[in-house]
Amino acid sequence: MSRLLLAHADVKDTLIDLIRGNIVKFYGDHPADGYGYGRIVNEKRFDKLVSYLSQGKVVAGGEYDRSKLFIAPTILEDVALDAPVMQEEIFGPILPVLSFRTDAEAINIINRNPNPLSFYVFTGSSKKEEEWLERIQFGTGCVNNAAWQFTNHYLPFGGVGQSGIGGYHGKHSFDLFTHKKAVMKTPTWFDPAVKYPPLKGKLKLLKWLVR
């Protein structure tokens, strides 16, 4: 399941410009030489990530150096919905940005990869916030933020459907990995006949007992 950014068509270009500016702010004009910017874990993953760069129009970044396992923070647009970068886990500094005009159009894009592990909505409207959180089924999420829900051990972290089952963090981890052994104890002196056949005339009482 891919990572992607959906932006309304009216603000997409402005948003991309702001992201470009923040990439420079975070990592400088030359991320390859900057302190604190990570590298790709191995050559196999590096080669896979580089193959994604040709699957859309590079509008920021795109530079790479295999000898250093370096790929610059990269933004792609004009990406086909059936492209591999839209179908597979990216695990790298590449972000496809897609635009939409209507909510229905955005939902159709999301539903091509349903049940995301995380979902983030950015809006100043409480109504839109509520609508999006109710419409999309996802594991964890944020409103006007991204990824910080992972730092809150009071919130369970986990997916739903294709993105996983269960949740962990803090007590949620204990509950997830603990088997609750269910045992019912009955005293030896209590053994009502209603439990045993024949059941004729007993069903109403039996249903009442086990409801």
> In the beta sheet, which residues pair with residue 94?
74
What is the rounded distance in angstroms from the CA atom of residue 12 to the CA atom of residue 9?
5
Amino acid at 5: L
The domain locations on the chain are: 1-113, 117-211
Region 1-113: CATH code? 3.40.309.10
The per-residue pLDDT for 163 is: 63
Q: What is the pLDDT of residues 42-68, one digit of tens each?
A: 999 999 999 999 999 999 999 999 999
> Phi and psi dihedrals of 189, rounded to 5?
-85, -5
Cβ proximity of 50 and 74 under 8 Å: no
For 49-55, the CB contacts below 8 A with 24+ separation are 49/90, 49/91, 49/92, 49/94, 51/84, 52/76, 52/84, 52/85, 52/90, 52/92, 52/94, 53/94, 55/79, 55/80, 55/83, 55/84, 55/85
**Structure token pair of residue 21:** 């500016």
Q: What integer pLDDT is reported at residue 45 of this predicted model?
A: 96
pLDDT score of 23: 94
pTM of the model: 0.76
pLDDT of residue 164: 65
Q: What is the pLDDT of residue 209?
A: 75
What is the predicted pLDDT for the residue at 125? 94
pLDDT in tens, the chain (211 residues): 578 999 999 999 999 999 999 999 999 999 998 788 999 999 999 999 999 999 999 999 999 999 999 999 999 999 999 999 999 989 999 999 999 999 999 999 998 888 888 999 999 999 999 999 999 988 888 999 998 888 888 888 776 767 666 676 777 777 777 777 777 777 888 888 877 788 788 888 878 877 7
Q: What is the DSSP letter of 6?
A: E
CA distance linking residue 74 with residue 62, whole number of Å: 5
> Residue 189: exposed, middle, or buried by beta-carbon count in 10 A (0-12, 13-18, 19+)?
exposed
pLDDT confidence of residue 191:
82
